[in-house]
Structures are given as structure tokens and as C-alpha cells.
Amino acid sequence: MIEQKILAHLVNNESYARKVLPFVKPEYFSDSSHRVIYQTISAYVERYNTIPSAEALTIDVDKIDGLSSDTFSKVVELLPNLKADKDTDIEWLLDQTEKYCQDRAVYNAIMESINIIDGKSKDKGKGSIPQILSEALAISFDTSVGHDFLSDSDSRYDFYHRKEEKVEFDLEYFNKITRGGIPRKTLNVALAGTGVGKTLFMCHTAAANLSSGYNVLYITMEMSEERIAERIDSNLLNVTTDELKTMPKDAYDKKIERVRNKCKGRLIIKEYPTSTAGSANFRHLLQELKLKRKFIPDIIYIDYLNICSSSRMKMGNSVNSYMYIKAIAEELRGLAVEYDVPIITATQTNRDGYNSSDVDLTNTSESFGLPATADLMFAIISTEELENLGQLMIKQLKNRYNDLGIHRNFMIGVDRSKMRLYDVEDSAQNGLQQDRPVMDTSRFSEDEEAGGFGLQRGKKDFSKLRMI
């Protein structure tokens, strides 16, 4: 009944048809004759950009090769009866159509899963079942066609004044440059040379997130799960890594218990072999964690981007490092958007940036496509002098959250023995700040009246130039 009603309105109500066609799939129709009619309607609309008449459908169906006589007879019999009731509430029908599509998608997903379990699928394994079911459950009609600048000004104003949900740092200047923390659906990248502190930074901030009550997923492809956990242990238990090796079991248990009572969040560490995992693997991991451990992360750390694999490309003659690393970055950012989480990762400096005390975006190794994709990118810089002071210098390289000129460079303290970062005294920032000066607006009003919008002072006279 609902299938026939959908088809009737598809050929009699253009507004309904344009809202529904992008979301309905032929496999949702259980009756083969209904499926043929829908495919014919869809093809007609795509080609002629208007809904077909019953006559046009009859002619197009007659041209279909390989159609059984029984199905053809049913289609010809059904076409004249596709009449829509003008009194039908379209909003109600849209809701019913959406529910029908959701039910059919779930049914099809279950049947496909059964075939996979029975070994009847040649290209899919049991590991793909959670994703198949998740995609079916996510079916939804999104009727939005864009933001009308003038008509939607109220919603835009509400957006400006809505407090954005962010994951805060425990480091003052990082909160300043991000305006209170990292927003969801973003990719954030630390750039540093070997041994400078990329993993230390991520382990410290992961520990801080855990202490603040966030669920944290830490994916490592460089170090083992135990080595990452050791660094976070050292940070949270406030002991050196050497002390961890000599600490009695009962003392260790007491410290862990204090951390457990303090931390409301959860931390999962997952190790993959170097260069063997990418966004597709991480997506599967997230589904497994949700199903098996009821764990949904608030933030994801990936250590680190350059040793991930791309789910779309394979390195070869036609794919260079620029394209490959950019593809990985785009896939990770897409993962952040899909799961509504911020992702923090890292990348290496190139040879020129390894010993440089003034790293910039051109020192990104392998691909400049990575900075183009990241929302926040900053360099972690260490010199012999800074090492003696127990400090690291942070330099902003790209920032979509705030003005890049505000706190362009700043210092943080580092205790490598306990894998900790901390805020330093304000005096340590002296001479580093390169904040942009505030524009002098004292003559803005008089200049605006003169038509100059503050640019009249010192203007040049172009009246004597001639066109060439």
C-alpha cells in the first residue's frame, strides 16, 4: 500500500518527488513491478528534470530489455492507477516515506549480514557487518538545500551566540589561541622533529583530557600500547618512568586507585603496525568499541599521521607523497566530522626544519597538502638553550579558530622525566609575543564621512596616471 502511494505521488506531485528521489533506492521496493516503475521515474526525472506522465512511463517501460512478461503486465496494469489523493498531508507522507525507507534499509542490511555469515558474500567479511547495520540505521531525509543569507539571519545570530562545545587544554596559552579549546569535527596537527616531543605532547594532553572527564581514544602506530600507557602512567601518577619500574605493586595499585577515583573519563589505547592502518580501520575500531565496550570517544589521538595508510590511494607510480599524505589528512578530517570529535595528530619536520629554531609551514615533511587540510597546526621547537631551561617553544603555523597573530610564539614548560607539560611564568614569554597592533580608529568617523573608511590618511594621487 505505501509503495503504491509513494509511486503515485512521485508522478503527480513534483514537490514531493524532488524531496524524496535523492533518498529512495530501488532496492527498498519489495515488489519487482514497483521497482521497475521507480527506476523508470528516477531515470526520467534525471534526464528531463520534470516528473513523467503515465503515457511517458508506459513508453519507457516498453523499451526496457529483459523484462519478464509477468512483470511487464503488472507494470502496465498499475500505471493508470497511480493517482494521488490531493487531500493527503504531504508532511505526513514524507514522514511515512522516510520510515518506510528506514525499515527497508534495516531489513536489507540484516539479510545481507546473514549472507555474509553464511559465506555467500565474495567481497565482504564478518567485520563489515557493524558498518552495514550502522549505515542502515542512519538513513534520514535531509531536506535542507542551503543557508539563505537574508531569510536565515535569526538562526545565524543564534549560531554566533551559541557556546561551542570544545575540548579544553590544561595549558593556558593553548586555550588562548584556540579560544577555549579544540572544537569538534576538526583536525589538529603538531609539527616537530624526531625526539622533540610530539608523542610527549599527545600523551600529556590525553592524560589531561582523561582527568577532565573526557573519553579518550589513543591510536599508536609508532610505539607499543604499553609504552604509551607507561608515559601516561608517569604523567598521572606524578612519578618518573624509572620509578615505575621499581615501584612495589601495592604502591602502584594505590596510586591507580586515586587516579580512578579522580578521573571520570575512560582511556583506550590501540596499537596498529606502522603504515598498515587508516581511516577505514579506525572507523571499524570505533564501531567495535561502541558495540563491545559501550565506549564513544570525545577526542581521538593518532600517533602519527605520516605512518597511517590511505584508504583511497596506494603509493605507486601515479601517486606521490604529496597526494598520499594529503589523502590521509583528508580522510582523518572526514573521520572527525563523521564521528563529531576533534582529532589530534602529529607530523615530522623535513631536513631543513630539523635543526631550525624558526620552523614554518614549508618545513612540513613529505606533503604541503597536510597544512592545507588541518584546522590547527603548530610547531614544537626545542634548542639546547631551551632544553637546559626545561622549556619548549610553540609556534602557530595555521589557526582557523583565532587570529594567527595573537600569541604567535609562546613558551611551555616540560618535565621529560614525568612526561609532563606545564605553564611557565609570564616572564618566560617576554620578547616572544608578536601580537598584531590594534588599528588606530581615532579618525575612523571623519574619514568615513569623507568616503575613505579610515584609509584617507596618506592616500596617493592617481589623477595624473593615464591608461595604457
pLDDT of residue 445: 41
The average pLDDT across 44-58 equals: 86
Q: Average pLDDT, stretch 121-138?
A: 81
Q: How far apart are CA 297 and CA 108, in angstroms?
A: 29
Of 345, 357, 453, which Cα lies nearest the Cα of 411?
357
160 vs 236 pLDDT, higher one: 236
Average pLDDT over residues 207-211: 95
pLDDT in tens, 382-396: 988 999 999 999 999
Q: Of residues 84 and 196, which shows the higher confidence score? A: 196
SS3 267: strand
- Cell digits for 75? 507494470
| pLDDT the model gives residue 114 | 92
Contacts of 201 (CB under 8 A, 6+ apart): 190, 192, 346, 380, 421
Region 191-216: mean pLDDT is 93
- The answer on pLDDT for 441 being more than 80 is no
Neighbours of 281 (CB within 10 A): 17
Report residue 268 as a C-alpha cell: 583506550
Give the pLDDT band of residue 215 (cuts 50, 70, 90): very high
pLDDT in tens, 226-251: 999 999 999 999 999 999 999 999 99
Q: What is the mean pLDDT of residues 327-348?
A: 94
Residue 354: pLDDT band (50, 70, 90) is: low
The fraction of the chain above a pLDDT of 90, given in percent, is 43
Answer yes or no: is pLDDT of 437 > 50.
Answer: no
Determine contact, residues 269/228, Cβ cutoff 8 Å.
yes
Residue 212 has pLDDT above 90, yes or no: yes
d(C-alpha 96, C-alpha 291), whole Å: 29
Above 90 in pLDDT, residue 421? yes
- Residue 467: its pLDDT value, please? 38
Q: Which residue has the higher pLDDT, 363 or 308?
A: 308
Lowest mean pLDDT among 7-11, 114-118, 129-133, 394-398: 129-133
Amino acid at 89: D
- For residue 301, whether the previous peptide bond is cis, meaning omega lies within 30 degrees of 0, is no
Three-class DSSP category at 340: coil
Helical (H) or strand (E) element with 152: none
pTM of the model: 0.66
Residue 17 has pLDDT above 90, yes or no: no
pLDDT of residue 346: 94
Query: Going from the N-terminus, what domains does the chain have, and what CATH number goes with each?
Result: 2-137 (1.10.860.10), 166-429 (3.40.50.300)
**pLDDT band, residue 253 (cuts 50/70/90):** very high
351 close to 193: Cβ distance less than 8 angstroms = no
Residues 6+ apart with CB under 8 A from 11: 17, 41, 51, 52, 53, 54, 57, 82, 84
- Inform me whether the pLDDT recorded for 438 exceeds 90: no
